[in-house]
A = this chain, B = another copy of it.
Amino acid sequence: MNTLVDILNIYQNSKVQAFSKGTIVQKANDLKAPSIYVKKGILRSYIIDSSGKEHIYMFATEGWIIGDIEALEFKRPAQLYIDCLEDSEVIFFEKEQLFSDGLSKEKILENVNLFARRIGRLQRRVLMLMGAPAADRYAYFLEIYPELPSRVPQKMIASYLGIAPQTLSSIRSKMAKEN
């Protein structure tokens, strides 16, 4: 995967900020929603529903972007909480930097493709939440996030997948036996 660092030399104009594990970078109802490039560590975004339950929207490891794009694009208050699951280094940036005047047509198209691929991933995410068996959801999760099972608690992965933690345990035991 092309990272933003490959595509846009974001380091030249931007300050790296360090946050320790557990830092909350954005809260629901915040009025400004930052776009965040993850240089090191892991961030996650999540909602807390009306019954108080957490649902994880996404994880972002090195090279990923995380943010609350609905809040940004529709100028609404933030819907998501975003926090650090490890000590992390991030760069805050503006979407406009990805498409700014100094960039070649080619770079701009690469950045368009970042967006297009994200839509593709979200399409799959929606379809899986609607109709896929838990084992298929986990298999796709491993394709997207191969290194996460060793870095984040299993119950968070279950939350991302929309399945019970026990269901995920059974899937993992079954996979371990099969390998």
Contacts and interface: CB of A to CB of B under 8 A. Distances in A.
Interface stretch (A4-12, A15-23, A83-91, A121-129): A121-129
A57 B99 contact: no
Contacts of A105: 101
A119 interface: yes
A108 B53 CA distance: 40
Interface string A104-131: 0100110111011111111111110111
Q: Is the interface of A mostly helix, strand, loop or mixed?
A: helix
Name the residue in A69, A71, A74, A99 with the highest tally of chain B Cβ atoms < 10 Å from its Cβ.
A69
Contacts of A112: 99, 111-112, 115
A79 interface: yes
Nearest to A49: B131
A47 interface: yes
Given A108-B99, A116-B115, A119-B119, A127 B79 contact: yes
A70 interface: yes
A178 interface: no
